[in-house]
Amino acid sequence: MKRRTIVVLILAGSLLAGVAGAQMAPGMHGSEAMKGQDAKGMMAGGMMKACEAMMAGHHEMNAKMQAMDGKLDQMVAAMNAASGSRKTEAMAAVLDELVAQRKAMRTMSMTMESRMMRHMMEHMRMGAESMAMCPMMEEMAGDGANLMKTGDDGPAHRH
């Protein structure tokens, strides 16, 4: 009877350990070294592509904002050169453009913020090493270094 109790306890323990292991989140299995290997593997695969796509989207948004600034610069120059009723018309055109650009920039910003939050959450789910290897983080760290040197708002905010 004692032997049977031991066998039952061993089987019950094994079953419980298997169930507990199956219920753990994917990132909870294995050691810290394995987490690092998983993060490196993911960064080499799909996550690195997601990082690059995020970075490309960020660069595209910055390029659009620079183009908007260029258009405003041209319109303001034309406004300043105009006189009489043409100046009033040019001022109205500049105001219309400012409103349109503000709405467009808000939409771009909200979209980028949402994408960035999802992207960062994915990195957080994968572990700190994954976030550290993200090219977006490296670029942002570079912007921070430039901010410290120049004291301005960084390249994304130059107008």
Q: Which of 126, 120, 151 minimizes the C-alpha distance to 43?
A: 126
* Residue 130 in this model has a pLDDT that exceeds 90: no
Q: State how far the Cα of 25 lies from the Cα of 50, in Å rounded to an integer.
A: 22
Kindly report, residue by residue over 57-74, the tens digit of the pLDDT: 989 999 999 999 999 999
Of residues 135, 125, 155, the one with CA closest to residue 62: 155
| DSSP letter string, 10-48 | HHHHHHHHHHHHHHS-GGGSS-HHHHHHHHHHHHHTHHH
- Whether the per-residue pLDDT at 43 is higher than 70: the answer is no
Reported as a single tens digit per residue, the pLDDT across 74-123 is: 999 999 999 999 999 999 999 999 999 999 999 999 999 999 888 888 88
- pTM of the shown model: 0.56
